[in-house]
Amino acid sequence: MLAVSVRAEAATEGRLTVTYTTPEAGWQPVYDLRLARETGRLGIERGALVMQSTGENWRDVALRLSTSRPSQRTEPGEVWPWLRRITDPDAPVPQVRAEPEVAFSSGLAMEDRATAKTVEAAPEFEGLSVSYAYPDPVSVASGADPVRIALGTLTATAEPVAQAAPLSDSTAFLVARMTNESDEPILPTHEASFYLDGRFIARRPLDMIPAGARAELAFGPIEGLQVTRTVLDRSEGDRGVITRSSELTEEVRIEVENLTAEDWSMRVIDRVPYSEQEDLQISWNATPKAAEENLDGKRGVLAWRFDLPSGETKTITLTHRLKWPEGKVLQ
């Protein structure tokens, strides 16, 4: 309820404008990502799903969408003191009070989709956020299906590559590496549809891609690029009382076979163990040599790059050896 008192000496008329916020209205980004593999062109068709359940139907309203999220966290986290103790091995573990956890809303869940309009909203930069003013009046019914509006299309040049992780996959996947060269962020969403050469591939969430940031976007499996990972030899034994050490050796063979009718630029990712203890010694060897080590800051993760013609097979051999003192247990 809102009550306003007005006093005037003579008959008059005027307009009262009320501005307020409500948690019963919101919007969610939605994207259609279309990759043309032959040209490397990546089109990102942006849209918004707008919904509201305020109890009032919005008829022909002037709609402005903002990337500012006041309902989410707006201040940095707190760092609490970290108390460490040393006790006897058999002493009971003291109960430590846990720091409170704060849950933050991830936004409104909107799963239904409506037909996009051809009119597009232009971005306007407002400090740290971006707003989109839709040029035409918009009607959004309370409690009804979301209304989809268009926010324009971004274009980028992508570098398609066939990427395989033999530890978990039996086929390679098409991955497009791109840079967001626009001045606008690509916002996180649960509504991103991926298309390859006009064919629908999948609908899945999309993480935030800030302006100027690089990202890798997957566009489905390549069934004709078969990947196998075989442990050829694994021996574990005691090297004797004199050296008082234990040892584990493992040899892995990775094979990538191109059964398709075209050549592919490949990227294969695998790993070797690493240690942060002086007593645990690790040595390893890769044939051929990996093009990248500690990929993306992940220790022990390796990547190979090569071209694989149609009908050919590439073999990678990976060997590692671990040595540790007698009486210790490897974990």
Of 290, 263, 259, 270, which Cα lies nearest the Cα of 229? 270
CA dist., res. 297 & res. 318, Å (int): 20
CA dist., res. 81 & res. 168, Å (int): 40
> Tell me, what's the pLDDT at 75?
74
Per DSSP, which regions of 207-244 are E strands? 214-238
303 burial type by CB count under 10 A (0-12 exposed, 13-18 middle, 19+ buried): middle
Cα–Cα separations (whole angstroms), residue 171 to 37, 204, 287, 302: 19, 20, 21, 18
pLDDT in tens, 274-299: 888 888 888 999 999 999 999 988 99
CA dist., res. 296 & res. 40, Å (int): 23
Of 139, 178, 132, which Cα lies nearest the Cα of 30? 132
> Tell me, what's the pLDDT at 193?
95
Cα–Cα separations (whole angstroms), residue 291 to 127, 266, 269, 294, 301: 41, 12, 10, 10, 11
CA dist., res. 285 & res. 144, Å (int): 61
| 295 backbone dihedrals φ, ψ, rounded to 5° | -60, 130
> Tell me, what's the pLDDT at 96?
47
| pLDDT above 70 as % of the chain | 81
Q: How many CB atoms lie within 10 A of CB 53?
A: 15
> Tell me, what's the pLDDT at 60?
93
How much is the pTM?
A: 0.73
Radius of gyration from C-alpha coordinates of the chain: 29
> Tell me, what's the pLDDT at 72?
65
Helices (H), 162-288: none
Rounded to the nearest angstrom, the gap between the alpha carbon of residue 240 and the centroid of all alpha carbons in its chain is: 49
Q: Dihedral angle at the C-alpha atoms of 179, 185, 191, 192, nearest 10 degrees?
A: -20
The list of the chain residues with pLDDT below 50 reads 96, 98-117, 239-244
DSSP per residue, 107-157? --------PPPS-BPEEEEETTEEEEE-SS-EEE-TTSPPEEEEEEEEEEE
CA dist., res. 33 & res. 158, Å (int): 12
For residue 295, the SS3 value is: helix
> Tell me, what's the pLDDT at 260?
94
